[in-house]
Structure 1
Amino acid sequence: MSYRRIWLRTRSAGFKRAIASALFALAAAFLGSHDIARADEAAWEHLKNGGIVLFRHTLAPGTGDPDNFTLGDCSTQRNLNETGRQDARKIGQAFRDRGIAVGDVLTSQWCRCVDTAELAFPGQVTEQPAFNSFFQNRAKGPEQTDAARDLLSNWSGEGALVVVTHQVNITALTNIFPTSGEGIVINIHDGEIGVVGRIQL
C-alpha cells in the first residue's frame, strides 16, 4: 500500500472520529439542556405549592466587602450595578408571570441583598441576620448556617418562601455554588435540605 493511500485512510478515519465526537457532544448538550429544563420546571412547580427558594443576590461587581464596610451604609458596600437591578426585577416578574404567590421574603441585611429583594418583591421584605454573609469571617459560618437551617425548617406560611442571601450561605446549606441571581429551590425534612432544582433567569 502506498504512503499516500495510508495517509488518506488515516485522514479519513480521523475525520470520521472528529465528526462522531462532535455529534456526541451535540447530543450530550441537547440532552443536558432538556434535563436542565425539566429541573427548572420542577423547581417552579415546587414553588407553586409553597416551596422555598434561596436566591443569591443579583450582580454586584467585585468580591467580598470593602475594608470600611458598615452595615446599614450602602456607600461602604458593594452594590448592584444596572444589570443587577434589571435582573432583580426580572426575578419578581418571573414569579408574577407564573402566578406564584409569595408568602414571605427574607433577606440578608447587606445592601446588595436588600436591594435585590426589594426590586423583585417590593413591600414584602424582612431583613434576617441569619442570612448575612460570613465570607469575611468563616468562623461564624457553622453557627449561622444552623440558625438559617432552623428558620427554614420552622417556616410554615402560605405561598413560597423567598430568601435572598450570599453565595457562601447557599453553598453551606446546599453544597451548590450559585451564580449571581440564581435561585436554588429546596425542600427540608427533619433539618435535612434537599435540592429540587435551580432557577436561572
Structure 2
Amino acid sequence: MRLLAFLVALLLPATAWANDWDALDRPGAIAIMRHALAPGTGDPSGFTLGDCTTQRNLSASGREQARRIGAAFRERDIEFSQVLSSQWCRTRETAELLELGAVRDAPSLNSFFQDYASRDQQTRETLDLIGSANGRLMLVTHQVNISALTGRGTRSGEVLIIREEDGQIDVIGSILIDP
C-alpha cells in the first residue's frame, strides 16, 4: 500500500501539468517539443543529415499528431515569434506540420544521441539561444536534448513549457496531445 501511495505521489505533478495551456501565459514561457511519433530509436548507422531517406522519420500517426498539436495551439490563438528546429528530418517535418510560423534551423537542437561528447556544448548553445531570443519561442528537438536541458524525459510530441532564469531551466508545464 505504501508503494502505491508513493507511486501516486510521484505521478501527481505530471498529472497536474497535463495540458497546462495557462503555463504559456507566464512571463518568459518557452515551448520545447519532442518531435512527433517516429518509430524506432536513434538513426540507422551511416545516416546523412540532409537525406531523409537515410533517417528515422515520422510515421503517418506522427504526421497526424503534429498537425493536431499545431491545430490545438492555433485554436487557442497561441502564436510564436520564432519556430526553431533541429536539422533532422523528423523534427523539421514536425515543426512544419505544426503550421505555427516559418521554421528556422537551430543546430544546437540537433540530436547528440550518437555522439554524447557534444551534449554539454549543445546544451550551452541552446541556453544561449534561449537567453538571446525575443518573443515567444517554439523549439522542436529530440528527447536527449530536452533531457539534458530540463532533466526530464518526454513522450513523442510532448511539449514542455519551460522558463530560463539565471542560466537554469525550470519546467512550468506540459502539453501532450496523443495522435
TM category (shorter chain) comes to: 0.7 to 0.9
Structure 2 counterpart of 1:44: 21
Are the aligned partners of 2:161 and 2:173 in contact in 1 as well (CA < 8 Å)? Answer: yes
1:177 aligns with 2:148: no
State how many pairs are aligned.
174
Q: CA deviation at 1:48?
A: 3.5
Deviations 1:154-184 (A, max 9, x none): 2122xx3110000000000011110100111
Deviations 1:107-152 (A, max 9, x none): 0000000000000026521011000000000011011111011111
1:138 aligns with 2:122: no
TM-score (norm 1): 0.78
What percentage of aligned pairs have identical amino acids?
48
Match for residue 66 of structure 2 among 88, 91, 96 = 88
Secondary structure of the structure 1 residue equivalent to 2:139:
strand
Structure 1 counterpart of 2:170: 194
1:102 aligns with 2:63: no
Are the aligned partners of 1:107 and 1:165 in contact in 2 as well (CA < 8 Å)? Answer: yes
Q: What stretches of structure 2 of length at least 5 have no aligned partner?
A: none
State the structure with more CA Rg: 1
Are the aligned partners of 1:48 and 1:101 in contact in 2 as well (CA < 8 Å)? Answer: no
Larger deviation: 183-192 or 119-128? Answer: 119-128
CA RMSD of aligned residues (A): 2.3
Structure 1 counterpart of 2:144: 168
Are the aligned partners of 1:153 and 1:190 in contact in 2 as well (CA < 8 Å)? Answer: no
Q: Distance in 1 between matches of 2:15 and 2:117?
A: 37
Residue type of the partner of 1:164?
Answer: V
Are the aligned partners of 1:105 and 1:121 in contact in 2 as well (CA < 8 Å)? Answer: no
Greater relative contact order, per chain length (Cα 8 Å cut-off, separation 6+): 2
Which protein is richer in helix relative to its size? 1
Structure 1 counterpart of 2:39: 61
Change (3 A) 1:156 1:174: same
Deviations 1:19-52 (A, max 9, x none): xx6xxx7xx96xx67x6564245x4123245620
